[in-house]
Structures are given as C-alpha cells and as structure tokens.
Amino acid sequence: MAEQEKRGRGRPAKEDALTPAERAKRYRDNKRAERIAIAISRDASREMEPPDAPSRLFAELDKALARVDALERELAQARAEIAALKITK
C-alpha cells in the first residue's frame, strides 16, 4: 500500500479564491447597489404610504435636520459679521 502524504489542517484552499481586496470591493459594490435599490424602492412606494408612515417621517426628519444645520451655519456667519462690524466702529 502506498503511503499518502498527510494534508495540512483546515479547509483546503481553492484555486480561484478571491483576495481580501477583491472580497472587500465586492462587498462595497453590493452595499452600494443595495443602497441604490432601497432608495429607488422608497421613491416608488412613497405614493402608497400613508402620511404618518415611519419611513416618510424619517425622511421628513432628515430634511428638517439638514435645514436646521444650514440655518445654524447662516446664524453663525451673521453673528461673525455683526461682531466684525462692532469692532470696526
């Protein structure tokens, strides 16, 4: 009987296995595609949602928070301009 060479521990490596960088890129691409698909399906289903649906309320909240941030930046800029004008007097 011919002796067989003992194989190493663990699962054998595949010849066509992806490198970690390739796996990471595939994962990012899938996440990006999933995000786009969710956005498209959200837009398509908006007409069917009742006005108090949670996803619609979250979208409105996001818009409101973005508007608050913009207004706070404008306020800070206006305060800086007022302070500069007070200094020049």
User: Using one digit for the tens of pLDDT, what is the confidence trace for 24-71?
Assistant: 999 999 998 888 888 777 777 666 667 677 887 888 999 999 999 999
pLDDT at 25: 93
Could you tell me which residue, 77 or 56, shows the higher pLDDT? 77
- 8-39 burial, b at 16+ Cβ within 10 Å, e below that, comes to eeeeeeeeeeeeeeeeeeeeeeeeeeeeeeee
CA distances from 48 to 42, 43, 57 (A): 10, 10, 14
Looking at residue 35, its pLDDT comes to 86
- What was the pLDDT predicted at 41? 77
What is the C-alpha separation between 33 and 35, in angstroms, rounded? 5
> Residue 49 in contact with residue 56, Cβ under 8 Å?
yes
Any idea where the domains of the chain sit in the sequence? 19-48, 51-89
pTM of the model: 0.40
Task: Return the pLDDT at 2.
Answer: 60
